[in-house]
Amino acid sequence: MQDSNRFILFAMFILIVVLAVIFLLTPSTDSHPAFKRASIENVLVIDPGHGGEDGGAVTRDGVKESEINLQIALRMAEICDFCGIPYKMTRTSEEINYPEELKSTAKRKRYDQDKRLDLIESVENAVLISIHQNKFTSSSPRGPQAFFSANDGSKELAILVQEKMNTVLYPQNRRIAVQIPDSIYLMNSLDCVAVLAECGFLSNPVEGAALREDGYQSKVALCLVSSYCVFCDSRQRYL
């Protein structure tokens, strides 16, 4: 546990150094009159996929995807708190309070999705990162993958997320960022930048075990937050 805490502190220190370098290398708008612009402060919306009655995929030893998603999301929130990055979370626990009149699981899931949609749309300059885990019938597939919505900027962020996860989590990965299928309701109902990150395969014994470890979850969280920071910086330069 102490080793994990030391890793988190060291990783946060590295992230702060990277952000400081980005800030120092970003040209001042005063020295570039052609780029006079208002400063736009984005808000990272952290969405731990599933939750409540919807546990998502399950590891071989019974750990629900929703629990892993939430742990990664909470680590992202800790990094944001430490670095002063504005953020919102769509849920902060495994419990979801459903209206009593909703009796079926399908209706309760749709209620949860609509509630998340309302929250995200209420956030000005929102950038959504939705956290999920993959699963396959075979145990061999491995590696993270990023999906993007059709909204402007989503593909750019997804490419950054994919490249960062490939480098840090699984360098042998050959997956690339792709557009989200039309069947994913939340991602296709938003107007903001939106990316869904499948952080790994719970069906793969090695990756599934890693995704339950504190240190590995922290690495995933750092990949996602740092990709978001680089994306926001690149967008600001051309406004």
Examine the pLDDT at 9 and tell me if it is beyond 80. no
Are the C-beta atoms of residues 48 and 70 closer than 8 Å to each other?
yes
- Where do the structural domains in the chain lie, given as residue ranges? 2-27+42-96+103-237
Question: Treating both helix axes as pointing N-terminal to C-terminal, what angle do 214-237 and 2-25 enclose, rounded to 10 degrees?
Answer: 10
Q: What band does 5 get if pLDDT is binned at 50, 70 and 90?
A: low
DSSP state of 26: S
Q: Is 2-27+42-96+103-237 CATH 3.50.50.60?
A: no
**pLDDT tens figures, 120-172:** 999 999 999 999 999 999 999 999 999 999 999 999 999 999 999 999 999 99
Share of the chain above pLDDT 70, in %: 82
∠ CA 132-138-144 to the nearest 5 degrees? 30
Question: Can you tell me the distance from the alpha carbon of 95 to that of 196, in angstroms, rounded to the nearest whole number?
Answer: 22
Q: What is the pLDDT of residue 61?
A: 87
Are the C-beta atoms of residues 75 and 12 closer than 8 Å to each other?
no
Q: What band does 44 get if pLDDT is binned at 50, 70 and 90?
A: very high
Q: What is the pLDDT of residue 108?
A: 95
pTM to 2 decimal places: 0.84
Are the C-beta atoms of residues 157 and 227 closer than 8 Å to each other?
yes
Examine the pLDDT at 58 and tell me if it is beyond 60. yes
Over residues 52-81, the mean pLDDT reads: 95
Query: Which residue type sits at 138?
Result: S
